[in-house]
Amino acid sequence: MTRATLADVLQRALAGGYALAGLVVQGWEDARAYVAAAEAEGLPVILQAGPGARAHMPITIFGAMFRHLAGAASVPVVAHLDHATTIAECREAIDCGFTSVMFDGSRLPLAENIARTAEIVKLAHAAGVSCEGELGFVGYAAGEASLRTDPAKAARFAAETGVDALAVSVGNVHLQTGPEAAIDLAALAAIMAETSVPLVLHGGSGVPPALRLQLARQTSVCKFNIGTELRQTFGTALRDSLADPARFDRIAILQATEAPLTQAARRILRGLV
């Protein structure tokens, strides 16, 4: 198969009672490992380029890399721009082959978030691309505090923007290094009662695996963003690789991270179905 849109894969997940993983990519080795994991599990995968990675490597390089991997993959691959804050970023991503963009207007007043997200939805849909929005604010471990998503505002946001997926804040937190998030199931149920759009939980690394599966099967959460958990796997694998003093070649050092990343990603992917 080739590139898929976020709407393609999430609508199937919503109908099928399972969820998919949005895996945060920082380079070639992890991107290749995640596609290999998806192929081994026979599941779609969402490759995500976040702002930190884009500050390190141009978005056009991510676009080319994702296109290449998707073109050779046997499963659907979504090329997703994560946490864009300007229409220019979204337009550049669409122009270089991304099939999904996430506009993060979570720090904006509601009316402005709706207006700007709706503009990007219109741009994306005209190009055959999906758009994810965010309402409420998902905070950061040892950083900014979260602001919970208001169910009534979520209904308005989804209706007036036309987003294909909605990221919500219900106790999930970015950059947690252990499964310590306390998801407010009642708050999530209230949002579900007001919306029909597939929901997204950022900070998925902090959600215990058993709870991920429960939410995947019993709620409209169809996408979990996973970054920190896999970066920890990469860090451990890289230190192990560097422990061999005879190994000095950059390619050999980095290639040694791929098998552990593939195995970790396989566990995450199959843990949502």
Best CA proximity match to 237, nearest among 261, 212, 216, 205 = 261
Distance (Å, rounded) from C-alpha 271 to C-alpha 273? 6
Residue in 82, 104, 150, 164 annotated catalytic? 82
Q: Which residues pair with 45 in a beta bridge?
A: 77
70 token code pair = 């998707």
Whether 30 is catalytic is: no
- Contacts with 139 (C-beta within 8 Å, 6 or more apart), sequence order: 145, 146, 147, 169, 173, 174
Listed residue (37, 39, 41, 61) closest to 49, CA to CA: 61
Buried b (16+ CB within 10 A) or exposed e, 63-87: bebbbebbeebebbbbbbbbbbeee
Catalytically active residues, by annotation: 82
